[in-house]
Amino acid sequence: ALRIVEQFEQKYVDFPGLNLTFEVREGIVKHSRDYDPEQYPELKEYRLNERPPLEAQLIDVADEIAYNCADLDDGYEAKLLTLDQIRKGVPLFDRLLRPIERKYPHALEKLKFNEALKRLMDSFVTDLIEATRTRLEQMRIRTVDDVRRATSRLVGPSPRMSREKQNLKAFLRDNLYTHKDIYAERTKIVRCVSELFEYYIEHPRSLPPFYVAKTQEEPTYRVVCDYIAGMTDNYLAELHHKYVGN
């Protein structure tokens, strides 16, 4: 992601990249993990021995809430997960569903699922806000420098909701991500990426002009990797069909 916004996006005549602020680029680097400065000297400018800004910390946790709930929804929509399976495997979802069933006993199952899912996401978000606010107050965080000097990340759920989150993640891992249909699709995509990569290594002139020019500055494999990394699923499938075949 950092290579894309600093090198491959071309918006200005004088220099490559998007000319993003330091804080935004720092957030890209540090939002999802902490680094050992000694192991990543090339990232030294991003102050790896300090915590990222609150915005970066928040993006990481909010994204996790969003994709966990979206994956639960997708699994149900695709009939890879049943409502009974979800309520047995995710106790918080079951607790949220019960009052909905009492209030709307004749509603369609899908609508009851939707309402429970909405309340599930709201529960995670509300807890995140309250737990983070409490943490900031307890640690007397007043400035950005206070955030950077904190001994640990400040944005996160309460211990109780952290356990609920881990339970949901475990359920998705065991029942959706390792589902035979999902595994088969993942295997197919991995093959498509590998075959398209090999094609471009052998035929670099098939790359778009911008990337062809880049091969004069960097190793071809690095340029091909960057190009494929920026593709959507549909674009990957389209190019694989065009150059490699079915």
The pLDDT tens digits of the residues spanning 39-62 come to 999 999 999 999 999 999 999 999
Token output for 142: 């007043």
Model confidence band, residue 193 (pLDDT cutoffs 50, 70, 90): very high
CA distance 80 to 180: 10
Do the Cβ atoms of 18 and 9 come closer than 8 Å? yes
Do the Cβ atoms of 116 and 86 come closer than 8 Å? no
The answer to whether residues 167 and 72 belong to one domain is yes
Identify the sign of the CA torsion 89, 92, 96, 102: positive
Judge residue 120's burial from the number of C-beta atoms within 10 Å of its C-beta, 0-12 exposed, 13-18 middle, 19 or more buried: buried
Instruction: Work out the average pLDDT over 211-232.
Output: 94
Half-sphere exposure (CA, 13 Å, Cβ side) for 92? 20
Do the Cβ atoms of 114 and 145 come closer than 8 Å? no
Residue partners of 162: CB distance under 8 A and separation at least 6? 156
The answer to whether residues 149 and 217 belong to one domain is no
The answer to whether residues 173 and 184 belong to one domain is no
The answer to whether residues 141 and 242 belong to one domain is no
The answer to whether residues 210 and 236 belong to one domain is yes
Token output for 158: 């309460």
Over 80: is that where the pLDDT of 246 sits? no
pTM of the model: 0.86
Model confidence band, residue 1 (pLDDT cutoffs 50, 70, 90): confident
Which of 7-11, 48-52, 209-213 shows the lowest mean pLDDT across its residues? 7-11
Query: Higher model confidence: residue 127 or residue 33?
Result: 127
> H helices then E strands: how many in the chain?
12, 0
The answer to whether residues 66 and 151 belong to one domain is yes
The answer to whether residues 155 and 61 belong to one domain is yes
Q: Report pLDDT for 117.
A: 99
Length of the chain measured in residues: 246
Last residue of a domain, one of 178, 195, 219: 178
The answer to whether residues 14 and 113 belong to one domain is no
Q: Report pLDDT for 8.
A: 79
pLDDT in tens, 126-144: 999 999 999 999 999 999 9
The answer to whether residues 121 and 204 belong to one domain is no
Number of domains in the chain: 3
Average pLDDT, the chain: 95
The answer to whether residues 111 and 146 belong to one domain is yes
The answer to whether residues 165 and 206 belong to one domain is no
Model confidence band, residue 16 (pLDDT cutoffs 50, 70, 90): confident
Last residue of a domain, one of 49, 70, 89: 49
The answer to whether residues 75 and 154 belong to one domain is yes
Model confidence band, residue 4 (pLDDT cutoffs 50, 70, 90): confident
Compute, in degrees rounded to 10, the torsion defined by CA atoms 134, 139, 142, 144: -100
Compute, in degrees rounded to 10, the torsion defined by CA atoms 173, 177, 178, 182: 170
Q: How far is CA 137 from the centre of its chain?
A: 28
Q: Report pLDDT for 82.
A: 98
Last residue of a domain, one of 126, 156, 178: 178
Using alpha carbons, list the distances in angstroms from residue 128 to 60, 94, 187: 12, 20, 35
pLDDT in tens, 144-188: 999 999 999 999 999 999 999 999 999 999 999 999 999 999 999
The boundaries of the domain holding residue 128 are 54-178
